[in-house]
Structure 1
């Protein structure tokens, strides 16, 4: 977000104006409904003022939700920009089928219940009993594969 043409803040000026405008409009409707309902003794008339207050709350809530969603989108874009090493156009498709890698080392192990082969120093084997496995017994682990 700090690149050329990008702002460091998650919100733009327009977003701040929208949240302030909707909050003030909702607050004005609630206050109007409060004073209107306070001057009437009839429950039927107070119900109409209550509807106005609920509408004011809805207007204010919608503005605040839009504001938070904009921030969430900006944070997500920032996270993607920080995590990715390649430009977005050059990134590989995570759902693309990749050929299976076969093991070639003689020092591979497998723990009970595991399908893939691991090197002895693989973090997925921490605290597990392992047995030696042949290179033809399966495919390599994605964490420790050389």
Structure 2
């Protein structure tokens, strides 16, 4: 598996094996507990089988939580790569620098452009924010929308 394959799949083979193994083990313990409790009439023996079933559920839930955490980590890595806040070490092509945002309206060159926003955006950004890089932007004020959480406008 090369670097580009790793980025197209949200999890590794080991992650899929872990979730399958813990799910099968957990279900086997739950099924064994169900079978064991169905053959007893004593409440104390049923409680022991109930504890075994709860342990099987904990095994299964633990494996699924590990899998969800791995998927969450993959989403975070893709989000960082999407907005280009961190350089990708395994990129095969050189990183392209985004062109500076273009203003669609003429602006006064003596007044700095503190905040901008692109068409369809509800938040205002600094001109060097990666979320507006390469987009046609218009000047905006703080009263034009919520400040961006990435560039902390």
Instruction: Name the TM-score, length of structure 1 as normaliser.
Output: 0.60
Q: Which has the larger radius of gyration?
A: 1
> 2:24 — aligned with what?
24
Q: Give the CA deviation at 1:5.
A: 6.3
- Partner of 2:11, secondary structure, is coil
Q: CA deviation at 1:44?
A: 0.3
Name 1:40's counterpart in structure 2: 40
Q: TM-score, normalised by structure 2?
A: 0.57
1:71 maps to which residue? 71
Provide the residue aligned with 1:118 in structure 2.
Answer: none
Relative distance call for 1:125 and 1:69 in structure 2 (3 A) is: same
Deviation of 1:125 (Å) = 2.8
Shift of 1:84: 1.6
Structure 1, unaligned runs of 5 or more: 90-103, 107-120, 128-141
The residue that corresponds to 2:143 in the other structure is 125
Q: CA RMSD in A?
A: 2.9
User: 3-state SS of the aligned residue for 2:8?
Assistant: coil
1:26 counterpart SS class: helix
Aligned length: 101
Contact 2:28 2:56 in 1 (8 A): yes
